[in-house]
Amino acid sequence: MTSQELKLSGFNEFAPKAFLISLAKFEGTLAPELIAEVNELGAALVGGDVKQTSKLIEVAKKDAAFYEVFKQAHKDLRQIDKTNEKNKHLAELDENTPSRQTTDDFNNFLAPPLTDANPQSVAKKLFSGVRDLVERVYGLRF
């Protein structure tokens, strides 16, 4: 077991984003059983159970090809965070800026693909609208 695999267990702050990116980038077809699990997690997240995000890693591991895409997305996100590249494009926030809630991210970005019968299609549509921004700011290619 590699050190990367050890880090991909339990709660992980990059798991939701990596999972969403993986859905958009994965060229294969997810098994119906896996889609059912994704939909269950989506329903739990929409219901406010944010702790369920830790299960995204376990779901990703159930399809070897999908998990490879997930690991790469996770690695890319960690690298971006580590180098702090993402922050050079963001405006400075002041005390009047409203705080973003984690649940907003789940409801606005994760919930639509994770609760749909075709999560990959919804994720691809979601990313198509922000593709240029994601590629420019995060350096992630789609």
* Highest mean predicted confidence (pLDDT) among 23-32, 47-56, 90-99: 23-32
CA atoms within 13 A on the CB side of 10: 3
139 confidence band (pLDDT: 50, 70, 90): low
Q: What is the C-alpha end-to-end distance of the chain, expressed in Å? A: 29
Residue listed under structure tokens 């591991």 = 61
Average pLDDT (57-64) is 95
Report the C-alpha gap between 115 and 119 in whole angstroms.
7
Report the C-alpha gap between 41 and 59 in whole angstroms.
9
24 CB neighbour count, 10 Å cutoff = 24
15 confidence band (pLDDT: 50, 70, 90): confident
Write the pLDDT tens digit of every residue in 64-100: 999 999 999 999 888 887 776 545 555 555 555 544 4
The pLDDT, as a whole number, for residue 48 is 81
pTM of the model: 0.72
